Structure 1
Amino acid sequence: MKLSKAVRVAAITAVSLLALTACGTNKSADTTTTKAKTDSNVTTEGFPVVKKEITMSMMAPNMGFAEYKDMLVLKDYAKKTGINWKYNTPPQADYATKLNLAFASQDLPDVIYASGTSVMTPANETTYGKQGLIVPLEGLLKKYAPNFYKLMQEDPNIKKSITTPDGHIYSLPMIQRGATSNWYLGPMWYNGAWLKKLGVTELPKTVDEFYDLMVRFKNEDPNGNGKKDEIPYADQKDFWSRTWIMSAFGMLSNDVQNNGDKVVYNPITKNYKAYLTFMNKMYKNGLLDKNTFTQSGDQLTAKLKNSQVGFAQGYGPGFNGETTPEQNAQNPMWQPLTSSVSKKAVLPGNPRINRGNFVITKNAKSPAAALRWVDYFYTPEGATFLGQGPENGIWHYETTADGDKAKVYNKGIDASNAGEATAKITPNYGTTPPMLAGEEMKDPYANTILEKKTDDPTGDVYSKFAISETEKKIDPYVRVPYPLVYLTNDEQDLVSPIANDLKTYVQQMEAKFITGVEPLANFDKFVSTIKGMNIDQYVKVYQDAYDRWNNAK
């Protein structure tokens, strides 16, 4: 599916919303920062970034497309900057283990790159910072990372979200600003062929209208095969679509969210009961696939391809065996629904910050040079370079009929294989590099890559469709469920024993309530059980962390 990389990154970030950490202080790291300010070999603007060439070391995950040392973008950038790298790039599957061993042995590279918050967790950031293994960056940013510093000044949430309780910034993030960066995860889609068969021209706006449409999907043979084999709404066992349906009842996650300045735990609210009641009605009347909580993603995909499903969640529509951009663009994205307990449309939004992607260690020869090296990627120009590579890599310039210049893919590269070609020349594929992501390429999979000033007459129809749908149906309604926060060490100790038990219990009971295995009459008992799991303490921790984040200067 087109746009898959962009939304994959969005999903990574969304899953990380409640990442936790500990706090500490670090005098030895502060000394490193002060010393770095006097690095006379580092320039403060333009290229190269060092007056005399240096070689540094980098550890990063390898996605298996190419070795970092062979990537055209990195080779070309080394010439621009004067900084050469020795790469240690374990396969992604082994990366977390290898990085942990490096910290345990203190055999560290100068820079740790594109780890993402699932590996370079907030807890790791502050723990290693406290131990003096990584360098706090806040004192260097204004001078040596002015582009990133400017982004922080423009959006105070960035600084608030990457500053630990001890007041330090230990890593730089990926900042997402692309056309689909608000996606919390892949959206919901309607089967456009079914809508056309039933003459549906206006999509549902309330849960009641949605229910009625699902009934029509079930009973009116929209796939036209004369059989009652239609599945109005389907999902796989992870049930990712819950988040979108819950939003119709005013909830943005199945965990905590802040409503204004008050943090609530959604599963014990009346809104959550209303959600379960609606989904139980859907399941009981055959409108939700009976295998939703047990089937694999491959089993769901097979049903989608076989024209059996009318409504599903994903990074793009996959109905009826459709594969071309034109076909996929016929399947409309859903629009947010309202209900009796939530009169105003709202959707969960991605915080658009993925933390833990650029860490400078105690062994760095020049933290200032490392920051100058990465700072370029926080500009549209630098992000474009990281994402598309230099001229004559996978693209070249051609003159258009009106005399303008256009970037055109090289021979043998088009929308179908551009991702694979890109993955061989840049680390910006499947990872979360430190950069300003998305703003540089509104339509990264178009057959023609054009400068912003030029219209694109041959671009990918589906990508443009998905972007247009996002602007109309997602962007106006998003709200981040809960900000990216750090927990103190004591807070971490309090919530860790509670969190996993809560998640497991709530998801098990959700499936039981929806399928009718557990009667909804027992919802109050469910709430009582959760309250007995120290939920008040759990919410207080997140309320305190939210208050700290909200009041941060």
Structure 2
Amino acid sequence: MKMRKKNKVILGLGIALFSTILVACGSGNATGNGVKEGEEVKLNTESQFPIIAEGEELSLSIMAPGMGEAEWEDMATLQDYMEKTGITTTYVTPPNADFPTKLNLAFASGDLTDIIYGAGSNTLTSAMEIDYGSQGILVALEDYITPEIMPNLSKMIEEDPNILKSITTPDGHVYSLPMIPRNGTSIWYQGPLWYNGEWLDTLGVEELPKTTEEFYDLLVRFRDEDPNGNGQKDEIPLSDVQMNGSRLWLMGAFGMKVKGIQEDDGVVSYTPISENYKAFLEYMNKLYSEGLLDKEVYSQSDDQKKAKGQKNQLGIFPDYYSFFTTGRSEQEATNDPMLQPLSSEYSPETVIPGSPRLSRGAFSITSQNPSVEASLRWVDYFYSAEGSKYLEQGPEGVYWETAKNKDGEEVRVYTPEVDVNDTESFRAKITPAYGLVTPNLVIDQEPIRVSADEEPNTSFTDWVIGETQEKMEPVAEVPFPLLYLTKEENDKVSTSATDLQTYTTEMEAKFITGVTSFDEWDKYVETIESMGVEEYVAAYQAAYDRWAAN
């Protein structure tokens, strides 16, 4: 199967401009919208805040996962936002681990809050959106996403129409709003592969491998030339856990972006039965059989992998940042280069998977809600650069305060209450934007300073973004668009998905470790075909064609 490149996914830092021109909005109490009947709530039309008119009252209940750091009613950001908006918010926040069960029970009983916040698509699944949306339990939002009601999100959609396409269900409705990352690493599909920079220095490596052959040669040097300098043959050139961190980056060298459903130039395929995938497995088997891939790759835990890294035994390894594995400092980690994506005879053009830079299920409105328009104006602020910063850092005087530096410029500094060695623990207590899929624009924020005249050290972050821009952005492609399957399509794929995933995962390990010979490849493919893979691919092809034509 020939894998060809399509339009590149280019990392952007597009910032939505917030408009303060708001026109009169209705109460959203029409039963035709599936919204709770009630007395009309008049909204402010003169300025951005407050949202409701003077003398009006509105209370909105919110259900969200609790991360255990603080009660939402005690979060300074939410308290301050009530003052800004004039809208009172109350909260139902079961522990994050229990949230899926609690949300399902709420739907089943009808005991729903006005808003569902921060659920994410793993909990508020696409099938649930379609099901509860078609019943009128979730409110259709597309007619409200206008410059008058939601100026910030509307602006982002105007600049990137794929946002609206990706949150629109097959029946033409929008039942949830997304998180939209546009920060310096938002193109990451998952954490990268990192080289051990100390080993590269020891071996005098001045240029990183660009092909699978060059990568193999370097791994051999890692194995044979004692780069950790202890006189023992304890070096592990390449390590991972279940291949979960390195699989996709190395599959890219063979023209594949994902192990599963992939789209290329409008054609949907299932990569685990392709000749490209077979070539990838043969390559990994070669690395494994020659001691270049960790012999414990399928038996060790992540902690065991990290322990090897801290003993300076690993040459290349996956992690979100390299120092998570090596135990070095951030500054030392800038000597650990990110993988230079590889090419091969199967894929002369380099490709890696790229994130769609959008997460669904962040914000939904239920039929209990007394004012859809007020609720959407409430959340739209967070799709602006200003609102994103407010959501992440809170109001002045809690997590940060304004100070003037020696040049008379106003800068943000931590308040005395913040432990500058553990700022996130404090931040987690003041805002819901901590560990959740929150409905907002995510951009790189200017760091808060320890003192007004102390320039924040952004060298590590700047370096990571530089590595991303140089190595990932030019070749990153979304494996398959973020889209919705119809109920019929979902029924078709769900019967095969688990069996296909289980079987291909099992066989991948057997092929790589040599337990199963490649003489069994045809039998392997036939087994997958017997699992209904043709119908599986056809369902995704139909969904893709519908998405592309939208």
Question: Same fold by TM (over 0.5)?
Answer: yes
Q: Which residue is equivalent to 2:322?
A: 317
Structure 2: which 5+ runs fail to align? Answer: 1-10, 12-28
Distance 1:37 1:337, change over 3 A: farther
Find the partner of 2:469 among 468, 471, 475. Answer: 471
Distance 1:108 1:208, change over 3 A: same
Letter in 1 for 2:50: P
Distance 1:341 1:36, change over 3 A: farther
After TM superposition, the score normalised by the length of structure 1 is: 0.90
Cα separation, 1, equivalents of 2:30 and 2:157: 22
Q: Which residue is equivalent to 1:144?
A: 149
Q: Which residue is equivalent to 1:493?
A: 491
Displacement after TM superposition at 1:448 (Å)? 5.8
Q: Which residue is equivalent to 2:133?
A: 129
Cα separation, 2, equivalents of 1:282 and 1:201: 23
Secondary structure of 1:469's counterpart equals helix
Displacement after TM superposition at 1:53 (Å)? 2.9
Q: Which runs of 4+ in 1 moved over 6 A?
A: 33-38
Q: Which residue is equivalent to 2:532?
A: 534
Q: Which residue is equivalent to 2:460?
A: 462
Letter in 2 for 1:157: N
| Between 318-327 and 468-477, the greater mean CA deviation after superposition | 318-327
Letter in 2 for 1:232: P
Whether 1:422 aligns to 2:427 is yes
Cα separation, 1, equivalents of 2:38 and 2:248: 46
Distance 1:373 1:35, change over 3 A: same
How many residue pairs get aligned? The number is 519
Displacement after TM superposition at 1:36 (Å)? 9.3
Letter in 2 for 1:382: G
Contact 2:342 2:350 (C-alpha < 8 Å) held by counterparts: yes
Distance 1:131 1:210, change over 3 A: same
Q: Which residue is equivalent to 1:510?
A: 508
Displacement after TM superposition at 1:34 (Å)? 8.7
Cα separation, 1, equivalents of 2:151 and 2:111: 30
Q: Which residue is equivalent to 2:58?
A: 54
Distance 1:402 1:506, change over 3 A: same
Q: How do residues 33-182 of structure 1 correspond to structure 2 at under 5 angstroms?
A: 39-44=40-45, 45-51=47-53, 52-142=56-146, 143-182=148-187
Q: How do residues 197-346 of structure 1 correspond to structure 2 at under 5 angstroms?
A: 197-237=202-242, 239-318=244-323, 321-346=326-351
Q: How do residues 440-459 of structure 1 correspond to structure 2 at under 5 angstroms?
A: 440-441=444-445, 457-459=455-457
Contact 1:380 1:440 (C-alpha < 8 Å) held by counterparts: no
Letter in 2 for 1:533: M
Q: Which residue is equivalent to 2:17?
A: none
Letter in 1 for 2:378: W
Cα separation, 2, equivalents of 1:176 and 1:219: 42
Distance 1:518 1:168, change over 3 A: same
Distance 1:335 1:39, change over 3 A: farther
Displacement after TM superposition at 1:39 (Å)? 5.0
| Between 96-105 and 516-525, the greater mean CA deviation after superposition | 516-525
Letter in 1 for 2:469: E
Cα separation, 2, equivalents of 1:413 and 1:219: 49
Displacement after TM superposition at 1:222 (Å)? 0.8
Distance 1:70 1:323, change over 3 A: farther
| CA offset digits 1:458-508 (Å, max 9, x no partner) | 324322211111111111111100001111111111111111100111111
Structure 1: which 5+ runs fail to align? Answer: 1-9, 11-27
Contact 1:129 1:136 (C-alpha < 8 Å) held by counterparts: yes
Contact 2:35 2:366 (C-alpha < 8 Å) held by counterparts: no
Secondary structure of 2:314's counterpart equals coil
Displacement after TM superposition at 1:402 (Å)? 3.2
Cα separation, 2, equivalents of 1:362 and 1:315: 40
| CA offset digits 1:144-201 (Å, max 9, x no partner) | 2121122112111011100001110001000111100000000110011111111111
Displacement after TM superposition at 1:536 (Å)? 1.1
Letter in 1 for 2:509: A
Contact 1:111 1:359 (C-alpha < 8 Å) held by counterparts: yes
Displacement after TM superposition at 1:521 (Å)? 2.1
Distance 1:80 1:127, change over 3 A: same
Cα separation, 1, equivalents of 2:167 and 2:173: 8
Letter in 2 for 1:41: K
Cα separation, 2, equivalents of 1:474 and 1:449: 35
Displacement after TM superposition at 1:416 (Å)? 3.7
Contact 2:38 2:370 (C-alpha < 8 Å) held by counterparts: no
Cα separation, 2, equivalents of 1:183 and 1:440: 14
Cα separation, 1, equivalents of 2:507 and 2:547: 32
Find the partner of 1:402 among 399, 407, 416. Answer: 407
Distance 1:284 1:30, change over 3 A: farther
Q: Which residue is equivalent to 2:6?
A: none
Cα separation, 2, equivalents of 1:89 and 1:285: 52
Cα separation, 1, equivalents of 2:450 and 2:359: 29
Cα separation, 1, equivalents of 2:245 and 2:455: 35
Secondary structure of 1:496's counterpart equals helix
Displacement after TM superposition at 1:224 (Å)? 1.0
Distance 1:269 1:403, change over 3 A: same
Cα separation, 2, equivalents of 1:303 and 1:168: 50
Displacement after TM superposition at 1:29 (Å)? 9.3
| Between 144-153 and 276-285, the greater mean CA deviation after superposition | 144-153
Cα separation, 1, equivalents of 2:440 and 2:384: 8
| Between 267-276 and 414-423, the greater mean CA deviation after superposition | 414-423
Cα separation, 2, equivalents of 1:213 and 1:398: 51
Distance 1:36 1:375, change over 3 A: farther
Q: Which residue is equivalent to 2:372?
A: 367
